[in-house]
Structures are given as structure tokens and as C-alpha cells.
Copies of this chain bind each other. A is one copy, B any other.
Amino acid sequence: MARSKADLLQGTLDMLILKTLALGKLHGWGISKRIREMSRDVLEVNQGSLYPALYRLEDRGLIEAEWGISPEGRRAKFYSLTGSGKKALREERRSWELFSEAVQLILQTTQ
């Protein structure tokens, strides 16, 4: 993942994946494409981050996987949000907003 060709901020990848899956069942490759598109090419997930993150989320019971066929006709593993995944997304989002507003507060301080 890149922030302007630098690195992703730790902790946001999980939330972004959860959010992407909240829009619909999707496979790994598709998630990464979707994130790139939604962010207008600003955020780029790399596979070495993506797959470990997916397993992490699956282990924590936030998403679940099943094999299927992609729109391109290839075998692909489709992930979907579980109930606790939805809850986790709400929490991570709240805490992201809290955090980024706090940063914004600091950046706007003028004296």
C-alpha cells in the first residue's frame, strides 16, 4: 500500500478491507483493485500486505472465505463480512475518525 508512493499507515488496511467488503463479496485481487479505484489511484495495496491481512481478518472471524469463479472466469477466493466484521468496521471507523480529527486539530493549531 502506498501513500503517495510511500507507505500505508499501519492499522488502516484492515479497515479499508472491511469497508470494501461491506460493499459486497469480493476476492483478494478485486479488493485491491477496488481500493485503488475508490481512492482515485492514491492508495495502492501490495499483495505482500493484502494476503496476510486477509488471513488475519479471517482468523479473527471478521471475514469469511469461499472459493468461486471471478467475473474473468478464473478460480478466486471470495471474502465476505461476518457479523463481527461489521461491528469491527464500525469501531475501526469511529476510531479512525477520532484519530484523524485529532491530527487535523493539531495541524490547524496556529500558536
- Residue contact A95 to B3, C-beta cutoff 8 Å: yes
- Residue contact B9 to A102, C-beta cutoff 8 Å: no
Task: Judge if A16 is at the interface, Cβ distance under 8 Å.
Answer: yes
How many of chain A's residues touch chain B, expressed as a range? 20 to 34
Copies of this chain held together in the complex: 2
List 27 contacting pairs A-B, 8 Å CB cutoff, sorted by A: A3-B95, A3-B98, A4-B99, A9-B9, A9-B11, A9-B12, A10-B10, A10-B11, A16-B103, A16-B106, A19-B106, A19-B107, A23-B109, A23-B111, A38-B106, A38-B109, A39-B106, A40-B102, A42-B98, A42-B99, A43-B99, A43-B102, A43-B103, A43-B106, A96-B103, A96-B107, A100-B103
